[in-house]
Amino acid sequence: MAHDGRPMQLVLVTGMSGSGKSIVLNALEDAGFFCVDNLPIGFLAPLARSLDDQGHRKVAIAADVRVGADLGPLRETIDSLRSGGISVQVIFLNAQTQTLIQRYSETRRRHPLSLRPQRISGQEGEAAASSLLECIEHERRILSDIESLGMSLDTTDLKPASLRAWIREFLSLTPAPVSLLFQSFAYKAGIPLDADLVFDVRCLPNPHYIEALKPLTGLDLPVAQYLRGQPEVGSMIQDIAAFVRRWLPAYEADQRSYLTIALGCTGGQHRSVYCAEELAQQFSETCPTLVRHRSLTQRGLN
């Protein structure tokens, strides 16, 4: 048992290759799970017990035909873990054959059984010579004995966002709050490629034209005091904050883990820096918040 008296929650993700196991693992990792992919069955019990002893309360492990064709011991392993006080939930992902073929065609990836010697349709030969359809059918036969171990989900018609939402609902996961990155930049250097939302603050009064403020940045108190005294600056910041608050729940519903909000002025030194700092301060009490000043970093001023 765990040191704090709570049992470990172990989610075992298995099923057909191409059915969405990576999407499920990513969703679980975003929810705070310690995730391990492609783990051989023989290591499942020792690893789970070791992580339990270390105090990990939420663990997700993916195991499928990539680790070998023999998944027979999986049922006994799960029973052993449960008898040892570990809560084990099994998610078996499936999809129609035509859908799996289409997904492999789109990603251009090989099926995990395509390079392994195996007996298909009663003929001995190299799997590299077998078709994708044969590999999928052979995988279904391998996994048929373990499909009944847990909740089975057909992802044929599920989009990734719907699959992530279903996993959160099934496991009663509380989504982590979206992390906000407020980034200042200079328009003359181009809009940041990683920006999700871009706000232009070049219409605000520019400290660049005040001789005493020109060499300073939006991080310096004299510049902050000057901009704070301009009513339109405060109005711009509040309008941006209201927009972000209005639409943040929609981004959370889209399973975003972070949102980059870029604020640009001409040189990326005064107005955008000040606005980014003020907005980060406003949101810091309700969201994980980061600030980055691209132009200042490039100049060595930050």
Complete domains list, the chain, with CATH: 9-170 (3.40.50.300), 179-299 (no CATH)
- Taking Cα atoms as reference points, which of 79, 84, 83 lies closest to residue 149? 79
Structure tokens at 235: 């109005």
**pLDDT reported for residue 169:** 84
Query: What is the sign, positive or negative, of the torsion defined by CA atoms of 121, 126, 128, 129?
Result: negative
pLDDT digits (tens, 9 = 90+) for 4-28: 567 899 999 999 999 999 999 998 9
**pLDDT reported for residue 223:** 97
Q: What percent of the chain has pLDDT over 70?
A: 88
Are 91 and 167 contacting, i.e. CB atoms less than 8 angstroms apart? Answer: yes
Least confident of 36-45, 117-126, 162-171, 208-217: 117-126
Alpha-carbon separation of residue 64 from 77, 136, 221, 243 (angstroms): 14, 13, 58, 44
Long-range contacts at 113-121 (CB < 8 A, ≥ 24 apart): 113/17, 113/65, 113/69, 113/138, 113/139, 116/69, 118/69
| Rg of the chain over all Cα atoms, to the nearest angstrom | 26
Alpha-carbon separation of residue 13 from 6, 38, 62, 128 (angstroms): 22, 10, 5, 26
Q: Given its phi and psi angles, is residue 68 left (phi above 0), alpha (psi -120 to 50 degrees) or beta?
A: left
**pLDDT reported for residue 116:** 62
Structure tokens at 39: 């783990």
Tell me the pairing of strands 197-200 and 258-265: parallel
76-88 average pLDDT score: 90
Q: pTM (2 decimals)? A: 0.63
Structure tokens at 248: 């943040």
pLDDT at 2 over 60: no
- Output DSSP code: residue 16: S
**Angle (nearest 5°) at CA 58 between 57 and 59:** 120
Alpha-carbon separation of residue 150 from 52, 91, 124, 138, 258 (angstroms): 21, 6, 33, 21, 32
**pLDDT reported for residue 177:** 78
**Angle (nearest 5°) at CA 147 between 144 and 150:** 165
CB atoms under 10 Å from CB of 16, counted, come to: 25
**pLDDT reported for residue 242:** 97
- Taking Cα atoms as reference points, which of 127, 82, 99, 93 lies closest to residue 20? 93
Residue with tokens 């941006």: 240
**pLDDT reported for residue 181:** 96
Are 163 and 170 contacting, i.e. CB atoms less than 8 angstroms apart? Answer: no
**CA separation for the pair 21, 11 (Å, rounded):** 12
pLDDT at 120 over 50: no
**CA separation for the pair 270, 247 (Å, rounded):** 27
Are 59 and 34 contacting, i.e. CB atoms less than 8 angstroms apart? Answer: yes
48-57 average pLDDT score: 91
Structure tokens at 265: 């002025």
**CA separation for the pair 57, 68 (Å, rounded):** 28
**pLDDT reported for residue 69:** 52
Structure tokens at 37: 């992919």
- Collapsing DSSP to helix, strand or coil, 275 comes out as helix
Residue with tokens 């783990």: 39
pLDDT at 129 over 50: no
Banded model confidence at residue 117, pLDDT cuts 50, 70, 90: low
Amino acid 297 reads: T
**pLDDT reported for residue 59:** 96
Banded model confidence at residue 300, pLDDT cuts 50, 70, 90: low
